[in-house]
Amino acid sequence: MVSDIFRCIIDNGQIPHTWKSSLIIPLYKKGEKSDPKNYRPISLTCTLCRILERIIAQQLTKFLEDN
């Protein structure tokens, strides 16, 4: 099922629109919670998108190392 989705995306060269967006939330680090400097942004993205990106990156890396 997941491999079929990935194959369709690769064959068509189009990524689903929802995969292109992310939700950015502030994550508390330390210190005074009322100070915005004590937060860092975390981007929540689609898990399937991250998996596909990692697969493509690994294949590109292998190709570049071999050639």
Work out the angle between the directed axes of helices 47-66 and 2-12 (0-180°, nearest 10): 60
Q: How far apart are CA 27 and CA 41, in angstroms?
A: 6
In a domain, 34, yes or no: yes
In a domain, 40, yes or no: yes
In a domain, 44, yes or no: yes
Question: How many domains is the chain partitioned into structurally?
Answer: 1
Residue 8, number of CB atoms within 10 A of its CB: 11
User: pLDDT (tens digit, 0 to 9) for every residue of the chain, 67 residues total?
Assistant: 999 999 999 999 999 999 999 999 999 999 999 999 999 999 999 999 999 999 999 999 999 999 8
CA angle 17, 19, 21 (to 5 degrees): 85
In a domain, 56, yes or no: no
Q: Which structural domain, as residue segments, surrounds residue 30?
A: 21-48
Give the pLDDT of residue 51.
95
What phi and psi values does residue 9 have, to the nearest 5 degrees?
-65, -45
In a domain, 30, yes or no: yes
In a domain, 54, yes or no: no
Give the pLDDT of residue 38.
97
In a domain, 11, yes or no: no
